[in-house]
Amino acid sequence: MPSALLVLASVLTVTTVALDNGLMRTPPMGWLAWERFRCDIDCEQDPKNCISEKLFIDMADRLSEDGWRELGYVYVNIDDCWSSMERDKQGRLQPDPKRFPGGIQKLARYMHDRGLKLGIYGDMGTHTCGGYPGTPLDKIKIDAQTFADWEVDMLKFDGCYSNSIEQAQGYPLMSKALNATGRPIGYSCSWPAYQGGLPPKVNYTQLGEICNLWRNYGDIQDSWDSVMSIVDWFFENQDVLTPAAGPGRWNDPDMLIIGNFGLSMDQSRSQMALWAIMAAPLFMSNDLRTINSGARNILQNKMAIGINQDPMGIQGRRILKEKSGIEVFWRPLSKNASALVFFSRRNDMPYRYQTSLRKLSYTTGSYKIFDVFTDKSMVLKDSTDFVVSVNPTGVVMWYVSAPKNDTDMELT
Ligand SMILES: *[C@@H]1O[C@H](CO)[C@@H](O)[C@H](O)[C@H]1NC(C)=O
Ligand SMILES: *[C@@H]1O[C@H](CO)[C@@H](O)[C@H](O)[C@H]1NC(C)=O
Ligand SMILES: *[C@@H]1O[C@H](CO)[C@@H](O)[C@H](O)[C@H]1NC(C)=O
Ligand SMILES: *[C@@H]1O[C@H](CO)[C@@H](O)[C@H](O)[C@H]1NC(C)=O
């Protein structure tokens, strides 16, 4: 394995500490409303798709009945546009009474009864991005307590309608306020995305201490262009971003859009593979009631999920950018294993990429290879040249087990 990279990664990861709430030791997984359902509040004309308790109940039913929960997809997360335009008489946020007649606590109980968790959305500012009541500095304590009283399990804290000075106060304050409630609540901070995502404006050491995950970059949209702009930004800035990630603290390149309208099957595999390499939170934003089996199989791929959820929590890197348009990504995994992704930026035909594990900096030995999306396996010596055929905008993804030397190797 590329030992120089591994040493670098481990040296840098021990310098930062995670938010001490014991949560999200592996990247959180679940479902989040925003990309697919946005701020659709028209429950009269569009009752199936509007932001209402029915939508979250429907998704909870699918997660618990269609095999998602067992794979780790347990969060059901509300995004913007859930609240009433007015706070209640005690100054607390309250859900829109028509769209959430049962209230948020009842919805949380519905999740908990099924082994799921409920996430909610707030905004560090005067208003949410959609124009609903925000959580300015003087409302942080009361809102944290309200979420805890409702038995909410996670908060996504957006940053519209606040300036950088307020954000520098508000994001740490909310972290403290959540802790003070005594309820473990996963904390997703949109702060760095509002500050350009890079030092010196963004302090990743501090983020790791106060947030479990953070959005570094712009919102994902339902298109391949959007996925590619995110991938480009995250891997161009990997030297800054990879040391920030680890158990309890994750970079968040935003939702999985697999199962919607914008990605082909190859592009869907690419998003799944690269999100696994990035140790990214896996929040699907799609319609689990109507998702097709191709998209479902990609999202439910056990080996891709296993790579994403590796307990060491080391974020992977791009290790090669070939002139041919092939790029190679690598992530170290526990048990001396690793993951490799061969990705093609080409737009002509499947490209036959020839290389060897030795050329990819693997040490001497024989490696058992599992192909994540075809379920095939084989044994490769570090010195053996091989060819992978990578579809346009697609990937080949491998789980590479620990090396064995040639004397104790078993060919099975
Ligand atoms: C609050 O923080 C303390 C100290 O960092 C930690 O021990 C505790 O588990 C935290 N509690 C919650 C609910 O996050
Ligand atoms: C970043 O945050 C850490 C932890 O809060 C702090 O010790 C450090 O001084 C900060 N770095 C900069 C450059 O402000
Ligand atoms: C991983 O490899 C290192 C050095 O190559 C070795 O010392 C260690 O025992 C291995 N760990 C496992 C779990 O195989
Ligand atoms: C191969 O493995 C065996 C048993 O683990 C060990 O004794 C031997 O030294 C190894 N050989 C090489 C060349 O690493």
Residues 338/1, Cβ–Cβ less than 8 Å: yes
Domain 2-308 and domain 317-409, same fold? Reply is no
The position carrying tokens 């309890």 is 248
**DSSP code per residue over 289-331:** TT--HHHHHHHT-HHHHHHHT-TT----EEEEE-TTSEEEEEE
Q: Please give the Cα distance from 277 to 317 (Å, whole number).
A: 7
* b (16+ CB within 10 A) / e for 164-194: eebbbebbbbbbebbbebebbbbbbbbbbbb
How does pLDDT run along the chain (412 residues), one tens digit per residue?
A: 455 444 444 444 444 578 989 999 999 999 999 999 999 999 999 999 999 999 999 999 999 999 999 999 999 999 999 999 999 999 999 999 999 999 999 999 999 999 999 999 999 999 999 999 999 999 999 999 999 999 999 999 999 999 999 999 999 999 999 999 999 999 999 999 999 999 999 999 999 999 999 999 999 999 999 999 999 999 999 999 999 999 999 999 999 999 999 999 999 999 999 999 999 999 999 999 999 999 999 999 999 999 999 999 999 999 999 999 999 999 999 999 999 999 999 999 999 999 999 999 999 999 999 999 999 999 999 999 999 999 999 999 999 999 987 655 554 4
Q: For residue 144, give the ligand nearest its CA.
A: 1
Structure token digits, residue 145: 């307590």
Amino acid at 381: K
Phi, psi of 83, rounded to the nearest 5 degrees: -95, 170
- 232 touches 195 (CB < 8 A): no
Q: Is 158 noted as a catalytic residue in this protein?
A: yes
Fold observed for domain 2-308: TIM Barrel (3.20.20)
Q: Ligand 3, residue 336: give the atom nearest the CA.
A: 1
Of 23, 147, 179, the one to substitute when testing ligand 1's pocket (max ligand atoms within 8 A of C-beta) is 179
Greatest Cα pair distance, the chain, in angstroms, is: 75
Active site residue 219: yes
Return the closest-CA partner of residue 59 out of 79, 44, 84. Answer: 79
CATH number of 317-409: 2.60.40.1180
For residue 20, report the distance from its CA to the centre of ligand 1, in Å. Answer: 6
Q: Report how far residue 288's alpha carbon sits from residue 302's, in angstroms, rounded to the nearest whole number.
A: 18
Distance (angstroms) between ligand 4 centre and the Cα of 408 equals 7
Sign of the CA dihedral with 287 first, then 275, 213, and 29 last: positive
Peptide bond into 27 cis (omega under 30): no
pTM of the model: 0.94
Domain boundaries, the chain: 2-308, 317-409
